[in-house]
Structure 1
Amino acid sequence: MIASLLISVLVITAISVVLALLMVIADATVGNYGVVKININDKKELEVAGGQPLLKALNSEGVFIPSACGGRGSCGLCKVRVIEGGGNYLPTELPWISEEEKKNQVRLSCQFKVKNDVSIMIPEELFSVRQFETKVESIRDLTHDIKEVRLKLIEPSEIEMRAGQFIQFQVPAYELTDEPVYRAYSMASVPSDTNHIELEIRLVPNGICTTYVHKHLKEGDSVTVNGPYGEFFLRDTDRDIICIAGGSGMAPLKSILLDMAEKKSPRKARYFFGARTGKDLFLLDEMKALEDRMENFKFIPALSEPQPEDNWSGETGLITDVVKRMTENASESEAYLCGSPGMIDACIKVLQELGMPEERIYYDKFA
């Protein structure tokens, strides 16, 4: 009985190996699509090797499409319109494509492979996205699992950005990846400092980029980034502002608040920051300094699970509960959120319950 089972397992394993080899051979022969052309916005034409994901093909030619997950198909950011040559949707695209987007021929560029000549449309502002060579100027621990990485721009030496936008950080090949990959991180630096980019990177177990940053990156190392990207920036209104974040979601909101302080914005702003315990809080002195600089700014940290050693006398509970307790009516305000998808969804629900229209809630989700 056991012998028969072992033989069956060996046979199945052998068949799987043979099929895998056949797929590799097919990809190297039948899957050799030669050189194909990519027409972009009827303004630019590229010639690239066929068979590769559109995202990778564009990046290799200096056309950068935002992708928070580095091309794994798990963030849904790298959408482009494929006007001609698109073919059928792949199952890996469909979770991210709405019915309206299907009508407009929107594709997920990290999953769509360029096998023939195609014509695509991308936002015009992506043509101004640039690649930067930088050097790590400093690294410091903000918490037990968040590092601040400060990059000095070398070539080009300046970046024009809006407070709240993000860049893509290139991780070189190392033990967790056999080829360079990109990951997206919000910039924490103030836009007026055009020579530096500041990032706040939280360690994620087995995360390709976070492991590299926390375990391998050193001061003086060279780092390639591209950007800026994103529609997460302060709108030009006079409404009161509610900011909500957790963990490394601090980064874009810090940038926005520093920018407001420099420009002496008179707008009223409250910043609710959620952490689990005292060891997860950071930049408290910096936030206090901002309160001193900005007459109408209030920083409200909260712990969901304060420990006895924290000696915590501030707000407690989930950050959504704190927002609800301290906000009577949000109908005339606007909100800026940054954190995990679950936290963002919970915050949106609470803000809508407090009367805030959904179109005035702006956010970055960390997938």
Structure 2
Amino acid sequence: MTSIDVKVISIESLTETVTKIILETNQQSSFKAGQYLQVVMGENDKRPFSIANAPNVKGIIELHIGATPDNPYAYEVLQLASNTKKLKVEIGLGEAYVRESDKTMVIIAGGTGYSYAKSILLDTLANQTKRQINLYWGAKTQADLYELAELNALAKTQANFSFHPVVEIANTDWQGHVGLVHHAVLSDFNDLSLIDLYVAGRFEMAAVIKEVFTAKGLPLTSLYGDAFTYL
């Protein structure tokens, strides 16, 4: 873990509730894909957020923060970033970072858990070029999948990458999976012993995935996600 000062260079609304913040640093800020940082609000008040960019992007840190005024835990971080244009962060935290493996990679992201998935996806495409990668991103509606077009385009250019968007409420022209995101994975994979699974989203989702997927043959050693430290 490294403590660094960062400059806020842009704040962009991705949806009504999700904001992208780009941070700039001139200090050493090494981390592994899938790790997170903590925004230091006070000596005993440090708030974690996944890092969305790959580690090979030097000097830049990308965050996707889901926050509304009735969620002060995250919203206060947005306010601080907007008002001061600077933050103090601790970077390089978490053990759910990407591993090298010959197994097929499956990533399940719920909502802004996509930021964790994005870092792992981009890093694996760059460094494990022959590995098959499957990203399942679940959200309430299509509008909540704020990088849908970019991921569809990436899947067309990367032969080893498959993107599977999942929504709970579908428009009439929706052509992807409908329902819960982990159900989509179970419908596509029969032998879970052959995959490595990376998970980011609500604790409730992670708890269900751990119970269901390990019961169906996924080894615990092939299950990665920061939530599992507490489950």
Q: TM-score, normalised by structure 2?
A: 0.90
1:295 is matched with which residue: 114, 139, 159?
159
Q: Does 1:362 align with 2:212?
A: no
CA contact (8 A) 2:100 2:128 kept: no
Structure 1 counterpart of 2:21: 149
Secondary structure of the residue aligned to 1:267 is coil
SS in 2 for 1:336: strand
Superposed displacement of residue 277, structure 1:
1.2
Q: Is the counterpart of residue 171 in structure 1 residue 41 in structure 2?
A: yes
Distance 1:205 1:357, change over 3 A: farther
Counting only pairs closer than 5 Å after superposition, residues 279-290 of structure 1 correspond to structure 2 as 279-290=143-154
Gaps of 5+ in 1: 1-128, 173-178
> 2 CA distance for matches of 1:289 and 1:258?
14
Counterpart check, 1:140 vs 2:12: yes
Please, which of 305, 328, 345 is the counterpart of residue 207 of structure 2? 345
1:31-110 mapped onto 2 (5 Å cutoff): none
Q: 1:144 to 1:226 in 2, by over 3 A?
A: same
Distance 2:72 2:39 in 1: 11
Which amino acid is 1:212 matched to?
A: E
Equivalent position amino acid for 2:127 in 1? K
| Paired residue secondary structure (1:218) | helix
Q: Report deviation, 1:222.
A: 1.1
Q: Please report how far the alpha carbon of residue 208 of structure 1 lies from its aligned counterpart in structure 2 after TM superposition.
A: 3.3
- Residue aligning to 1:161: 31
1:224-263 matches, within 5 Å, as: 224-263=88-127
Distance (whole Å) between structure 2 residues aligned to residue 219 and residue 205 of structure 1: 15
Per the normalisation by structure 1, the TM-score is: 0.58
Other structure's SS at 1:217 match = helix
Deviation (angstroms), 1:236 = 1.8
Identity %: 29
Q: Deviations over 1:149-207 (max 9, x none)?
A: 110014x2x311110001111236xxxxxx87310111111101121111111115543
Match for residue 266 of structure 1 among 130, 133, 145? 130
Partner Cα separation in structure 1 for residue 101 and residue 11 of structure 2: 36
Distance 1:215 1:269, change over 3 A: same
**Which position in structure 1 is the counterpart of 2:74?**
210
CA contact (8 A) 1:275 1:281 kept: yes
- For residue 262 of structure 1, what is the amino acid of its counterpart? A
User: Match for 1:237: what amino acid?
Assistant: S
Distance in 2 between residues matched to 1:361 and 1:264, nearest whole Å: 18
The CA deviation string for residues 83-133 of structure 1, in whole angstroms up to 9 with x for no partner, is xxxxxxxxxxxxxxxxxxxxxxxxxxxxxxxxxxxxxxxxxxxxxx22111
Q: Secondary structure at the match of 2:9?
A: strand
In structure 2, runs of 5+ residues without a counterpart are: none
Deviation at 1:246, TM superposition (A): 0.6
Q: Structure 1 counterpart of 2:30, which letter?
A: E
1:148 deviates by 0.9
CA distance, structure 2, for counterparts of residue 270 and residue 294 of structure 1: 11
- 1:365 is paired with a residue whose SS is helix
Contact 2:105–2:132 (CA<8 Å) still a contact in 1? yes
Q: Which runs of 4+ in 1 moved over 4 A?
A: none
Give the secondary-structure state (helix, strand or coil) at the position aligned to 2:82.
coil
CA–CA distance in 2 between the matches of 1:336 and 1:151?
25
Q: Are 2:10 and 2:21, in contact at CA under 8 Å, matched by a contact in 1? A: yes
Structure showing greater radius of gyration is: 1
Greater length-normalized contact order (CA 8 Å, ≥ 6 residues apart): 2
Letter of the 1:342 partner, please give it: E
1:182 counterpart residue number: 46
Contact 2:49/2:65 (8 A) holds in 1: yes
Number of positions where the alignment pairs a residue of Structure 1 with one of Structure 2: 229
Q: Which residue of 2 aligns with 1:332?
A: 194
Judged with a 3 Å threshold, the aligned counterparts in structure 2 of structure 1 residues 364 and 219 are, in CA distance, closer, same or farther, namely: same
Q: 1 CA distance for matches of 2:201 and 2:127?
A: 26
Which residue does the alignment assign to 1:54? none
